[in-house]
Protein backbone atom coordinates (compact mmCIF):
# COMPACT_ATOMS: atom_id res chain seq x y z
CA UNK A 1 0.00 0.00 0.00
CA UNK A 2 1.22 3.45 -0.85
CA UNK A 3 2.75 5.34 2.06
CA UNK A 4 0.53 8.36 1.57
CA UNK A 5 -2.59 6.16 1.58
CA UNK A 6 -1.48 4.54 4.85
CA UNK A 7 -0.94 7.96 6.34
CA UNK A 8 -4.34 9.10 5.16
CA UNK A 9 -6.05 6.00 6.62
CA UNK A 10 -4.26 6.52 9.93
CA UNK A 11 -5.22 10.18 9.93
CA UNK A 12 -8.82 9.35 9.05
CA UNK A 13 -8.96 6.81 11.87
CA UNK A 14 -7.43 9.33 14.25
CA UNK A 15 -9.98 11.99 13.39
CA UNK A 16 -12.99 9.66 13.26
CA UNK A 17 -12.20 8.11 16.62
CA UNK A 18 -11.75 11.60 18.05
CA UNK A 19 -15.09 12.73 16.67
CA UNK A 20 -16.83 9.57 17.92
CA UNK A 21 -15.39 10.13 21.38
CA UNK A 22 -16.60 13.71 21.25
CA UNK A 23 -20.11 12.63 20.24
CA UNK A 24 -20.20 10.01 23.01
CA UNK A 25 -19.04 12.65 25.48
CA UNK A 26 -21.69 15.11 24.28
CA UNK A 27 -24.33 12.38 24.52
CA UNK A 28 -23.30 11.48 28.07
CA UNK A 29 -23.19 15.09 29.21
CA UNK A 30 -26.49 15.74 27.41
CA UNK A 31 -28.10 12.73 29.05
CA UNK A 32 -27.08 14.05 32.46
CA UNK A 33 -28.48 17.45 31.51
CA UNK A 34 -31.88 15.91 30.59
CA UNK A 35 -31.32 16.94 26.97
CA UNK A 36 -32.42 13.66 25.42
CA UNK A 37 -35.33 12.94 27.74
CA UNK A 38 -38.95 14.00 27.76
CA UNK A 39 -39.35 16.57 30.46
CA UNK A 40 -42.07 18.75 31.90
CA UNK A 41 -41.75 22.19 33.53
CA UNK A 42 -42.27 22.87 37.22
CA UNK A 43 -41.64 25.96 39.30
CA UNK A 44 -41.10 26.83 42.93
CA UNK A 45 -40.81 30.13 44.76
CA UNK A 46 -38.24 30.61 47.51
CA UNK A 47 -37.31 33.58 49.63
CA UNK A 48 -33.63 32.71 49.26
CA UNK A 49 -31.97 30.66 46.51
CA UNK A 50 -28.34 31.12 47.49
CA UNK A 51 -25.98 28.92 45.43
CA UNK A 52 -28.66 27.66 43.06
CA UNK A 53 -27.85 28.17 39.38
CA UNK A 54 -28.86 27.05 35.91
CA UNK A 55 -28.12 23.33 35.54
CA UNK A 56 -28.24 22.56 39.28
CA UNK A 57 -29.70 19.15 40.01
CA UNK A 58 -33.29 18.54 41.08
CA UNK A 59 -33.80 15.46 43.22
CA UNK A 60 -36.90 13.67 44.40
CA UNK A 61 -36.23 12.09 47.79
CA UNK A 62 -32.52 12.06 46.90
CA UNK A 63 -32.83 10.64 43.36
CA UNK A 64 -32.01 12.92 40.44
CA UNK A 65 -35.14 13.69 38.43
CA UNK A 66 -34.27 16.92 36.66
CA UNK A 67 -32.34 20.16 36.47
CA UNK A 68 -32.87 23.83 37.23
CA UNK A 69 -33.70 25.73 34.05
CA UNK A 70 -33.83 29.32 35.26
CA UNK A 71 -33.51 31.30 38.47
CA UNK A 72 -35.34 34.63 38.41
CA UNK A 73 -36.00 37.31 41.01
CA UNK A 74 -39.74 38.05 41.15
CA UNK A 75 -39.73 40.69 43.87
CA UNK A 76 -37.62 41.77 46.83
CA UNK A 77 -38.46 38.62 48.80
CA UNK A 78 -39.25 36.01 46.15
CA UNK A 79 -37.00 34.03 43.81
CA UNK A 80 -38.67 31.81 41.24
CA UNK A 81 -36.86 28.62 40.26
CA UNK A 82 -38.03 26.93 37.05
CA UNK A 83 -37.16 23.26 36.68
CA UNK A 84 -37.22 20.58 34.01
CA UNK A 85 -38.37 17.26 35.46
CA UNK A 86 -38.24 13.88 33.71
CA UNK A 87 -41.68 12.99 32.48
CA UNK A 88 -41.25 9.42 33.70
CA UNK A 89 -41.02 10.72 37.30
CA UNK A 90 -44.19 12.80 37.09
CA UNK A 91 -46.32 10.08 38.70
CA UNK A 92 -44.36 10.37 41.97
CA UNK A 93 -44.63 14.12 42.34
CA UNK A 94 -47.98 15.23 43.74
CA UNK A 95 -49.49 18.61 44.51
CA UNK A 96 -48.59 18.18 48.17
CA UNK A 97 -44.87 17.62 47.44
CA UNK A 98 -42.53 20.16 49.04
CA UNK A 99 -39.42 21.64 47.40
CA UNK A 100 -36.43 22.63 49.50
CA UNK A 101 -32.95 23.90 48.67
CA UNK A 102 -30.30 21.51 49.91
CA UNK A 103 -26.59 20.83 49.45
CA UNK A 104 -24.92 17.91 47.73
CA UNK A 105 -22.91 16.87 50.78
CA UNK A 106 -21.28 19.29 53.19
CA UNK A 107 -19.31 21.18 50.55
CA UNK A 108 -21.22 20.25 47.43
CA UNK A 109 -23.31 22.29 45.00
CA UNK A 110 -26.76 23.52 45.92
CA UNK A 111 -29.70 21.58 44.53
CA UNK A 112 -33.48 21.47 44.75
CA UNK A 113 -34.76 18.50 46.71
CA UNK A 114 -38.42 17.60 46.31
CA UNK A 115 -39.81 15.58 49.20
CA UNK A 116 -43.04 13.63 49.42
CA UNK A 117 -45.85 15.69 50.87
CA UNK A 118 -48.92 14.74 52.86
CA UNK A 119 -51.06 11.99 51.39
CA UNK A 120 -54.06 12.96 49.33
CA UNK A 121 -52.33 14.98 46.60
CA UNK A 122 -52.92 14.49 42.91
CA UNK A 123 -50.26 14.11 40.21
CA UNK A 124 -48.75 17.46 39.43
CA UNK A 125 -49.38 19.27 36.13
CA UNK A 126 -47.10 21.24 33.81
CA UNK A 127 -46.05 24.71 34.99
CA UNK A 128 -47.42 24.00 38.49
CA UNK A 129 -45.86 25.64 41.53
CA UNK A 130 -44.54 23.34 44.21
CA UNK A 131 -44.95 24.15 47.86
CA UNK A 132 -41.64 25.24 49.31
CA UNK A 133 -39.85 25.06 52.57
CA UNK A 134 -37.17 27.69 52.86
CA UNK A 135 -33.76 26.38 53.88
CA UNK A 136 -31.87 27.30 57.00
CA UNK A 137 -29.15 29.53 55.71
CA UNK A 138 -25.56 29.45 56.87
CA UNK A 139 -25.91 32.77 58.70
CA UNK A 140 -28.72 31.36 60.85
CA UNK A 141 -26.65 28.27 61.62
CA UNK A 142 -23.68 30.44 62.52
CA UNK A 143 -25.86 32.63 64.75
CA UNK A 144 -27.10 29.53 66.59
CA UNK A 145 -23.55 28.28 66.91
CA UNK A 146 -22.53 31.69 68.20
CA UNK A 147 -25.18 31.39 70.93
CA UNK A 148 -23.97 27.90 71.76
CA UNK A 149 -20.39 29.15 71.91
CA UNK A 150 -21.44 31.90 74.31
CA UNK A 151 -23.14 29.31 76.53
CA UNK A 152 -20.04 27.12 76.42
CA UNK A 153 -17.92 30.13 77.37
CA UNK A 154 -20.16 30.83 80.38
CA UNK A 155 -20.12 27.17 81.40
CA UNK A 156 -16.34 27.02 81.20
CA UNK A 157 -16.08 30.22 83.24
CA UNK A 158 -18.35 28.69 85.89
CA UNK A 159 -16.25 25.53 85.83
CA UNK A 160 -13.16 27.67 86.24
CA UNK A 161 -14.69 29.35 89.31
CA UNK A 162 -15.78 25.96 90.65
CA UNK A 163 -12.32 24.45 90.26
CA UNK A 164 -10.82 27.57 91.78
CA UNK A 165 -13.11 27.14 94.80
CA UNK A 166 -12.18 23.48 94.91
CA UNK A 167 -8.53 24.44 95.14
CA UNK A 168 -9.20 27.04 97.87
CA UNK A 169 -7.61 25.60 101.04
CA UNK A 170 -10.21 27.11 103.35
CA UNK A 171 -13.15 26.07 101.30
CA UNK A 172 -15.63 23.38 102.19
CA UNK A 173 -15.06 21.54 98.92
CA UNK A 174 -11.29 21.54 99.47
CA UNK A 175 -11.89 20.17 102.98
CA UNK A 176 -14.04 17.41 101.59
CA UNK A 177 -11.50 16.78 98.87
CA UNK A 178 -8.31 16.80 100.94
CA UNK A 179 -9.11 16.57 104.71
CA UNK A 180 -8.89 12.95 105.84
CA UNK A 181 -10.71 13.67 109.12
CA UNK A 182 -13.59 15.19 107.22
CA UNK A 183 -13.58 12.20 104.96
CA UNK A 184 -13.67 9.92 108.00
CA UNK A 185 -16.52 11.95 109.50
CA UNK A 186 -18.34 11.84 106.26
CA UNK A 187 -17.81 8.11 106.09
CA UNK A 188 -19.13 7.75 109.63
CA UNK A 189 -22.08 9.97 108.79
CA UNK A 190 -22.84 7.81 105.84
CA UNK A 191 -22.55 4.74 108.06
CA UNK A 192 -24.97 6.29 110.55
CA UNK A 193 -27.20 7.32 107.77
CA UNK A 194 -27.22 3.73 106.60
CA UNK A 195 -28.19 2.57 110.10
CA UNK A 196 -30.89 5.21 110.31
CA UNK A 197 -32.13 4.20 106.95
CA UNK A 198 -32.30 0.62 108.21
CA UNK A 199 -34.30 1.72 111.20
CA UNK A 200 -36.56 3.81 109.03
CA UNK A 201 -37.08 0.75 106.93
CA UNK A 202 -38.00 -1.24 110.04
CA UNK A 203 -40.39 1.49 111.16
CA UNK A 204 -41.84 1.57 107.75
CA UNK A 205 -42.32 -2.19 107.89
CA UNK A 206 -43.99 -1.89 111.29
CA UNK A 207 -46.27 0.86 109.99
CA UNK A 208 -47.04 -1.34 107.07
CA UNK A 209 -47.97 -4.19 109.42
CA UNK A 210 -50.15 -1.86 111.49
CA UNK A 211 -51.83 -0.61 108.38
CA UNK A 212 -52.42 -4.19 107.31
CA UNK A 213 -53.99 -4.97 110.70
CA UNK A 214 -56.17 -1.89 110.46
CA UNK A 215 -57.21 -2.85 106.98
CA UNK A 216 -58.13 -6.30 108.28
CA UNK A 217 -60.22 -4.75 111.08
CA UNK A 218 -58.05 -5.89 113.97
CA UNK A 219 -57.26 -3.78 117.10
CA UNK A 220 -58.66 -0.62 118.67
CA UNK A 221 -57.51 1.64 115.88
CA UNK A 222 -59.33 -0.53 113.36
CA UNK A 223 -62.44 -0.40 115.50
CA UNK A 224 -62.10 3.35 115.76
CA UNK A 225 -61.83 3.58 112.04
CA UNK A 226 -64.30 0.87 111.02
CA UNK A 227 -67.00 0.61 113.84
CA UNK A 228 -69.89 2.85 112.79
CA UNK A 229 -71.70 2.59 116.20
CA UNK A 230 -68.60 3.71 118.03
CA UNK A 231 -68.24 6.44 115.56
CA UNK A 232 -71.82 7.55 116.21
CA UNK A 233 -71.19 7.47 119.98
CA UNK A 234 -68.05 9.44 119.53
CA UNK A 235 -69.93 11.93 117.45
CA UNK A 236 -72.59 12.26 120.20
CA UNK A 237 -69.88 12.62 122.83
CA UNK A 238 -68.20 15.23 120.76
CA UNK A 239 -71.52 17.06 120.40
CA UNK A 240 -72.05 16.92 124.20
CA UNK A 241 -68.52 18.08 124.76
CA UNK A 242 -69.14 20.92 122.41
CA UNK A 243 -72.33 21.88 124.22
CA UNK A 244 -70.59 21.66 127.61
CA UNK A 245 -67.81 23.69 126.25
CA UNK A 246 -70.24 26.34 125.07
CA UNK A 247 -71.85 26.44 128.53
CA UNK A 248 -68.50 26.64 130.25
CA UNK A 249 -67.66 29.41 127.92
CA UNK A 250 -70.83 31.25 128.91
CA UNK A 251 -70.08 30.70 132.63
CA UNK A 252 -66.59 31.84 132.08
CA UNK A 253 -67.86 34.99 130.42
CA UNK A 254 -70.21 35.64 133.31
CA UNK A 255 -67.44 35.08 135.82
CA UNK A 256 -65.28 37.38 133.85
CA UNK A 257 -67.97 40.05 133.96
CA UNK A 258 -68.45 39.49 137.70
CA UNK A 259 -64.74 39.77 138.35
CA UNK A 260 -64.71 42.87 136.22
CA UNK A 261 -67.55 44.34 138.27
CA UNK A 262 -65.79 43.33 141.44
CA UNK A 263 -62.59 44.93 140.29
CA UNK A 264 -64.22 48.09 139.01
CA UNK A 265 -67.14 48.49 141.44
CA UNK A 266 -67.44 49.93 145.01
CA UNK A 267 -69.27 46.95 146.49
CA UNK A 268 -68.53 45.02 149.64
CA UNK A 269 -66.59 42.30 147.90
CA UNK A 270 -64.34 44.85 146.21
CA UNK A 271 -63.86 46.56 149.58
CA UNK A 272 -63.09 43.21 151.18
CA UNK A 273 -60.49 42.55 148.53
CA UNK A 274 -58.96 45.99 148.30
CA UNK A 275 -59.69 48.02 151.52
CA UNK A 276 -57.00 47.20 154.14
CA UNK A 277 -58.85 49.08 156.91
CA UNK A 278 -61.95 47.00 156.37
CA UNK A 279 -59.76 43.91 156.31
CA UNK A 280 -58.28 44.93 159.66
CA UNK A 281 -61.79 45.56 161.06
CA UNK A 282 -63.03 42.23 159.81
CA UNK A 283 -60.00 40.56 161.29
CA UNK A 284 -60.68 42.31 164.57
CA UNK A 285 -64.36 41.30 164.41
CA UNK A 286 -63.35 37.70 163.85
CA UNK A 287 -61.09 37.90 166.89
CA UNK A 288 -63.94 39.39 168.87
CA UNK A 289 -66.23 36.66 167.63
CA UNK A 290 -63.72 34.08 168.79
CA UNK A 291 -63.58 35.67 172.20
CA UNK A 292 -67.38 35.90 172.31
CA UNK A 293 -67.68 32.28 171.26
CA UNK A 294 -65.24 31.22 173.94
CA UNK A 295 -67.23 33.18 176.51
CA UNK A 296 -70.41 31.64 175.22
CA UNK A 297 -68.89 28.17 175.60
CA UNK A 298 -68.00 28.95 179.20
CA UNK A 299 -71.54 30.28 179.76
CA UNK A 300 -73.03 27.17 178.25
CA UNK A 301 -70.87 25.03 180.45
CA UNK A 302 -72.05 27.04 183.44
CA UNK A 303 -75.66 26.63 182.33
CA UNK A 304 -75.18 22.87 182.25
CA UNK A 305 -74.24 22.94 185.84
CA UNK A 306 -77.01 25.37 186.75
CA UNK A 307 -79.74 23.85 188.81
CA UNK A 308 -82.35 25.40 186.57
CA UNK A 309 -81.22 23.70 183.41
CA UNK A 310 -79.30 20.68 184.73
CA UNK A 311 -82.27 18.43 184.35
CA UNK A 312 -82.76 19.40 180.69
CA UNK A 313 -79.14 18.61 179.72
CA UNK A 314 -79.19 15.25 181.51
CA UNK A 315 -82.37 14.30 179.65
CA UNK A 316 -80.75 15.29 176.31
CA UNK A 317 -77.61 13.34 177.06
CA UNK A 318 -79.58 10.18 177.75
CA UNK A 319 -81.59 10.68 174.59
CA UNK A 320 -78.40 10.99 172.48
CA UNK A 321 -77.00 7.78 173.96
CA UNK B 1 7.89 48.08 22.04
CA UNK B 2 8.46 48.70 18.34
CA UNK B 3 9.02 44.97 17.88
CA UNK B 4 5.72 44.22 19.58
CA UNK B 5 3.75 46.48 17.26
CA UNK B 6 5.74 45.22 14.28
CA UNK B 7 4.86 41.62 15.21
CA UNK B 8 1.23 42.62 15.72
CA UNK B 9 1.11 44.25 12.29
CA UNK B 10 2.72 41.20 10.66
CA UNK B 11 0.20 38.90 12.33
CA UNK B 12 -2.73 41.06 11.23
CA UNK B 13 -1.52 41.17 7.61
CA UNK B 14 -0.92 37.44 7.66
CA UNK B 15 -4.35 36.72 9.09
CA UNK B 16 -6.05 38.71 6.33
CA UNK B 17 -3.91 37.09 3.63
CA UNK B 18 -4.43 33.55 4.96
CA UNK B 19 -8.21 33.96 5.16
CA UNK B 20 -8.29 35.45 1.68
CA UNK B 21 -6.19 32.68 0.18
CA UNK B 22 -7.77 29.95 2.24
CA UNK B 23 -11.31 30.54 1.10
CA UNK B 24 -10.41 31.04 -2.54
CA UNK B 25 -10.23 27.90 -4.70
CA UNK B 26 -8.43 25.76 -5.73
CA UNK B 27 -8.03 24.04 -2.36
CA UNK B 28 -4.94 22.08 -1.42
CA UNK B 29 -6.71 19.11 0.24
CA UNK B 30 -3.82 16.71 -0.12
CA UNK B 31 -1.41 19.14 1.53
CA UNK B 32 -3.96 19.82 4.28
CA UNK B 33 -4.18 16.08 4.98
CA UNK B 34 -0.41 15.83 4.91
CA UNK B 35 -0.10 18.67 7.39
CA UNK B 36 -2.87 17.20 9.56
CA UNK B 37 -0.87 14.01 9.76
CA UNK B 38 2.27 15.92 10.68
CA UNK B 39 0.61 18.00 13.35
CA UNK B 40 -1.98 15.53 14.67
CA UNK B 41 -0.60 12.00 14.50
CA UNK B 42 3.00 12.95 15.21
CA UNK B 43 2.05 14.98 18.28
CA UNK B 44 -0.33 12.41 19.67
CA UNK B 45 2.23 10.39 21.67
CA UNK B 46 3.72 13.47 23.32
CA UNK B 47 0.32 14.98 24.11
CA UNK B 48 -1.00 11.60 25.35
CA UNK B 49 1.90 10.93 27.73
CA UNK B 50 1.76 14.48 29.10
CA UNK B 51 -2.02 14.32 29.59
CA UNK B 52 -1.86 10.95 31.35
CA UNK B 53 0.83 12.14 33.74
CA UNK B 54 -1.03 15.38 34.42
CA UNK B 55 -4.26 13.52 35.23
CA UNK B 56 -2.33 11.19 37.51
CA UNK B 57 -0.52 14.02 39.28
CA UNK B 58 -3.69 16.10 39.61
CA UNK B 59 -5.37 13.37 41.65
CA UNK B 60 -2.24 12.58 43.66
CA UNK B 61 -1.82 16.24 44.57
CA UNK B 62 -5.48 16.99 45.24
CA UNK B 63 -6.44 13.84 47.10
CA UNK B 64 -4.73 14.57 50.47
CA UNK B 65 -6.32 18.01 50.74
CA UNK B 66 -9.77 16.81 49.72
CA UNK B 67 -9.56 13.82 52.06
CA UNK B 68 -8.49 16.15 54.87
CA UNK B 69 -11.72 18.10 54.37
CA UNK B 70 -13.74 14.87 54.14
CA UNK B 71 -14.41 15.48 50.44
CA UNK B 72 -12.57 12.51 48.95
CA UNK B 73 -15.64 11.53 46.98
CA UNK B 74 -15.39 14.80 45.07
CA UNK B 75 -12.14 13.73 43.37
CA UNK B 76 -13.83 12.57 40.12
CA UNK B 77 -15.95 15.72 39.94
CA UNK B 78 -13.01 17.97 40.69
CA UNK B 79 -10.72 16.22 38.19
CA UNK B 80 -13.34 16.22 35.42
CA UNK B 81 -14.04 19.94 35.70
CA UNK B 82 -10.33 20.80 35.95
CA UNK B 83 -9.32 18.63 33.03
CA UNK B 84 -12.19 19.46 30.70
CA UNK B 85 -12.32 23.16 31.40
CA UNK B 86 -8.66 24.03 31.63
CA UNK B 87 -5.94 21.42 31.87
CA UNK B 88 -6.79 19.43 28.73
CA UNK B 89 -7.12 22.32 26.27
CA UNK B 90 -4.33 24.44 27.75
CA UNK B 91 -1.72 21.71 28.08
CA UNK B 92 -2.44 20.40 24.59
CA UNK B 93 -2.15 23.90 23.15
CA UNK B 94 1.09 24.66 24.99
CA UNK B 95 2.69 21.39 23.91
CA UNK B 96 1.59 22.00 20.35
CA UNK B 97 2.85 25.57 20.53
CA UNK B 98 6.23 24.18 21.48
CA UNK B 99 6.34 21.26 19.08
CA UNK B 100 4.22 22.25 16.07
CA UNK B 101 4.72 26.02 16.23
CA UNK B 102 8.49 25.74 16.35
CA UNK B 103 8.44 23.01 13.66
CA UNK B 104 6.36 25.10 11.26
CA UNK B 105 8.46 28.19 11.93
CA UNK B 106 11.75 26.35 11.43
CA UNK B 107 10.52 24.59 8.29
CA UNK B 108 9.21 27.76 6.67
CA UNK B 109 12.27 29.72 7.82
CA UNK B 110 14.58 27.16 6.21
CA UNK B 111 12.55 27.30 3.01
CA UNK B 112 12.76 31.05 3.13
CA UNK B 113 16.54 31.22 3.65
CA UNK B 114 17.15 28.59 0.97
CA UNK B 115 14.86 30.57 -1.37
CA UNK B 116 12.51 27.63 -1.91
CA UNK B 117 9.53 29.92 -1.33
CA UNK B 118 10.82 32.30 -3.96
CA UNK B 119 11.23 29.35 -6.33
CA UNK B 120 7.61 28.31 -5.69
CA UNK B 121 6.41 31.78 -6.56
CA UNK B 122 8.47 31.71 -9.74
CA UNK B 123 7.05 28.29 -10.66
CA UNK B 124 3.50 29.65 -10.29
CA UNK B 125 2.61 27.99 -6.99
CA UNK B 126 1.00 30.29 -4.45
CA UNK B 127 3.10 29.80 -1.26
CA UNK B 128 0.37 31.34 0.90
CA UNK B 129 -2.17 28.82 -0.29
CA UNK B 130 0.14 25.82 -0.35
CA UNK B 131 2.39 26.42 2.64
CA UNK B 132 0.66 28.81 4.99
CA UNK B 133 -3.09 28.21 4.65
CA UNK B 134 -2.72 24.43 4.75
CA UNK B 135 -0.61 24.49 7.91
CA UNK B 136 -2.89 26.90 9.69
CA UNK B 137 -5.90 24.83 8.59
CA UNK B 138 -4.18 21.69 9.89
CA UNK B 139 -3.37 23.14 13.31
CA UNK B 140 -6.88 24.64 13.59
CA UNK B 141 -8.47 21.24 12.91
CA UNK B 142 -6.01 18.96 14.69
CA UNK B 143 -5.58 20.71 18.03
CA UNK B 144 -9.28 20.24 18.97
CA UNK B 145 -8.97 16.53 18.10
CA UNK B 146 -5.76 16.25 20.09
CA UNK B 147 -7.50 18.03 22.96
CA UNK B 148 -10.31 15.44 22.93
CA UNK B 149 -7.76 12.65 23.21
CA UNK B 150 -5.81 14.58 25.85
CA UNK B 151 -8.94 14.99 27.98
CA UNK B 152 -9.82 11.30 27.73
CA UNK B 153 -6.26 10.21 28.51
CA UNK B 154 -5.97 12.68 31.40
CA UNK B 155 -9.22 11.36 32.88
CA UNK B 156 -7.83 7.82 32.49
CA UNK B 157 -4.70 8.97 34.33
CA UNK B 158 -6.88 10.48 37.05
CA UNK B 159 -8.82 7.23 37.36
CA UNK B 160 -5.54 5.26 37.54
CA UNK B 161 -4.31 7.46 40.39
CA UNK B 162 -7.67 7.22 42.16
CA UNK B 163 -7.75 3.44 41.81
CA UNK B 164 -4.17 3.16 43.12
CA UNK B 165 -4.90 5.16 46.27
CA UNK B 166 -8.54 4.13 46.76
CA UNK B 167 -10.65 1.22 45.62
CA UNK B 168 -12.55 3.16 42.98
CA UNK B 169 -14.86 1.45 40.53
CA UNK B 170 -14.40 2.61 36.92
CA UNK B 171 -18.17 2.90 36.45
CA UNK B 172 -18.53 5.01 39.56
CA UNK B 173 -15.62 7.23 38.58
CA UNK B 174 -16.75 8.01 35.04
CA UNK B 175 -20.38 8.29 36.14
CA UNK B 176 -19.36 11.02 38.60
CA UNK B 177 -17.20 12.62 35.89
CA UNK B 178 -20.09 12.94 33.43
CA UNK B 179 -22.57 13.72 36.20
CA UNK B 180 -20.55 16.82 37.05
CA UNK B 181 -19.95 18.04 33.51
CA UNK B 182 -22.34 20.38 31.81
CA UNK B 183 -22.51 21.80 28.31
CA UNK B 184 -21.35 25.07 29.80
CA UNK B 185 -18.10 23.26 30.66
CA UNK B 186 -17.66 21.38 27.40
CA UNK B 187 -18.68 23.86 24.70
CA UNK B 188 -16.50 26.89 25.67
CA UNK B 189 -13.62 24.53 26.37
CA UNK B 190 -13.91 22.84 22.97
CA UNK B 191 -14.49 26.11 21.11
CA UNK B 192 -11.36 27.76 22.39
CA UNK B 193 -9.19 24.91 21.07
CA UNK B 194 -9.97 26.05 17.50
CA UNK B 195 -8.67 29.49 18.39
CA UNK B 196 -5.61 27.92 20.02
CA UNK B 197 -4.88 25.92 16.85
CA UNK B 198 -5.38 28.92 14.62
CA UNK B 199 -3.08 31.07 16.77
CA UNK B 200 -0.34 28.42 16.90
CA UNK B 201 -0.40 27.89 13.14
CA UNK B 202 -0.61 31.60 12.40
CA UNK B 203 2.26 32.55 14.72
CA UNK B 204 4.46 29.67 13.48
CA UNK B 205 3.83 30.54 9.83
CA UNK B 206 4.26 34.28 10.35
CA UNK B 207 7.55 33.93 12.16
CA UNK B 208 8.89 31.31 9.72
CA UNK B 209 7.76 33.14 6.59
CA UNK B 210 9.22 36.44 7.81
CA UNK B 211 12.45 35.02 9.16
CA UNK B 212 15.64 36.90 8.33
CA UNK B 213 18.31 35.50 6.11
CA UNK B 214 20.70 32.92 7.55
CA UNK B 215 20.47 29.99 9.95
CA UNK B 216 20.56 32.33 12.92
CA UNK B 217 17.36 33.93 11.67
CA UNK B 218 15.69 30.52 11.46
CA UNK B 219 16.59 29.76 15.09
CA UNK B 220 15.34 33.14 16.25
CA UNK B 221 12.13 32.70 14.27
CA UNK B 222 11.50 29.26 15.85
CA UNK B 223 12.21 30.62 19.33
CA UNK B 224 9.99 33.68 18.84
CA UNK B 225 7.28 31.47 17.40
CA UNK B 226 7.18 29.29 20.52
CA UNK B 227 7.17 32.24 22.89
CA UNK B 228 4.50 34.23 21.05
CA UNK B 229 2.33 31.15 20.38
CA UNK B 230 2.35 30.19 24.08
CA UNK B 231 1.56 33.75 25.11
CA UNK B 232 -1.24 33.91 22.53
CA UNK B 233 -2.70 30.66 23.84
CA UNK B 234 -2.77 31.99 27.40
CA UNK B 235 -4.26 35.33 26.32
CA UNK B 236 -6.96 33.56 24.26
CA UNK B 237 -7.68 31.30 27.23
CA UNK B 238 -8.15 34.31 29.47
CA UNK B 239 -10.41 36.07 26.94
CA UNK B 240 -12.56 32.96 26.38
CA UNK B 241 -12.87 32.41 30.12
CA UNK B 242 -13.95 36.01 30.55
CA UNK B 243 -16.49 35.75 27.74
CA UNK B 244 -17.83 32.49 29.22
CA UNK B 245 -18.21 34.21 32.59
CA UNK B 246 -19.95 37.18 30.97
CA UNK B 247 -22.41 34.78 29.35
CA UNK B 248 -23.12 33.30 32.77
CA UNK B 249 -21.68 29.84 32.20
CA UNK B 250 -19.11 29.96 35.03
Domain containing B134: what range?
29-246
Residues A13 and A100 in one domain: no
Q: How far apart are CA A296 and CA A291, in angstroms?
A: 8
Residue B24 within any structural domain of the chain: no
- For position B21, what pLDDT does the model report? 79
Q: DSSP class of residue A35?
A: T
Q: What is the pLDDT of residues B129-149, one digit of tens each?
A: 888 889 999 999 999 999 999
Residues A126 and A50 in one domain: yes
Residues A79 and A27 in one domain: no
Residue A5 within any structural domain of the chain: yes
Residue B96 within any structural domain of the chain: yes
Residues A45 and A128 in one domain: yes
Q: Say how many domains are in chain B.
A: 1
* A18 reaches B (C-beta below 8 A): yes
Residue A105 within any structural domain of the chain: yes
Strand segments (E) across chain A: 39-46, 57-60, 63-75, 78-86, 98-103, 110-115, 128-133
Residue B16 within any structural domain of the chain: no
- The answer to whether B34 contacts A10, with C-beta atoms less than 8 Å apart, is no
In chain B, which residues have their Cβ closer than 8 Å to the Cβ of A29?
178, 181-183, 185-186
Q: Kindly report the nearest CA distance between residue B145 and chain A, in angstroms.
A: 6
Q: How far apart are CA A171 and CA A57, in angstroms?
A: 64
Residue of A nearest to B142 (CA): A15
Q: How far apart are CA A288 and CA A308, in angstroms?
A: 29
Domain containing A5: what range?
1-32
Q: Kindly report the nearest CA distance between residue A127 and chain B, in angstroms.
A: 24
User: Measured at the alpha carbon of residue B46, what is the angle toward residues B42 and B47, in degrees to the nearest 5?
Assistant: 100
Average the pLDDT over each of A9-18, B45-54, B63-72 and give the range with the smallest value. B63-72
Residue A12 within any structural domain of the chain: yes
- For position B92, what pLDDT does the model report? 94
Last residue within a domain, chosen from A116, A135, A154: A135
Q: Say how many domains are in chain A.
A: 2
Is B86 in contact with B154 (CB distance < 8 Å)? no
Residue B21 within any structural domain of the chain: no
Residue B13 within any structural domain of the chain: no
Residues (pLDDT < 70) of chain A are: 1, 33-35, 105-108, 135-138, 169-171, 173, 176-177, 265-267
For residue B175, give Cα distances in angstroms to A27, A155, B65, B159: 13, 49, 22, 12
- For position B164, what pLDDT does the model report? 86
Question: Could you tell me which residues come within 8 angstroms of residue B179 by beta carbon, excluding any fewer than 6 positions away?
Answer: A32, B77
CATH number, domain with residue A60: 2.40.30
The alpha carbon of B87 is separated from its chain's Cα centroid by a whole number of angstroms, namely 11
- For position A265, what pLDDT does the model report? 66
- The neighbouring-strand residues paired with A86 are A39
Amino acid sequence: MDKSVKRNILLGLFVVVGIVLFIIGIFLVGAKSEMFKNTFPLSAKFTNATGLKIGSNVRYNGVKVGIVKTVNIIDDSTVQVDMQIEDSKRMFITTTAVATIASDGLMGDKLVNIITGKPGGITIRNYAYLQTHNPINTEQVLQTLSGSNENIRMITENLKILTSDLNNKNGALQMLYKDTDAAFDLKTSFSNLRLVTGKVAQVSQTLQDITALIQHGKGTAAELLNDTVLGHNLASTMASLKETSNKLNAVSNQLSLTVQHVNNGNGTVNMLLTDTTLAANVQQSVLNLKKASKGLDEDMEGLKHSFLLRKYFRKKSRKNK
Amino acid sequence: MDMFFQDAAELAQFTVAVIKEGVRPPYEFREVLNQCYETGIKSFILVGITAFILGLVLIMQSRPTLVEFGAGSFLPAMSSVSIVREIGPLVTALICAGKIGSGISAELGSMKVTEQIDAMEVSGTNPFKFLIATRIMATTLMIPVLTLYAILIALTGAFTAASITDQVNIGFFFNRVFDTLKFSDVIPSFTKTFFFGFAIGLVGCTKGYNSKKGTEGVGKAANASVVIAMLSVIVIDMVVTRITAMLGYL
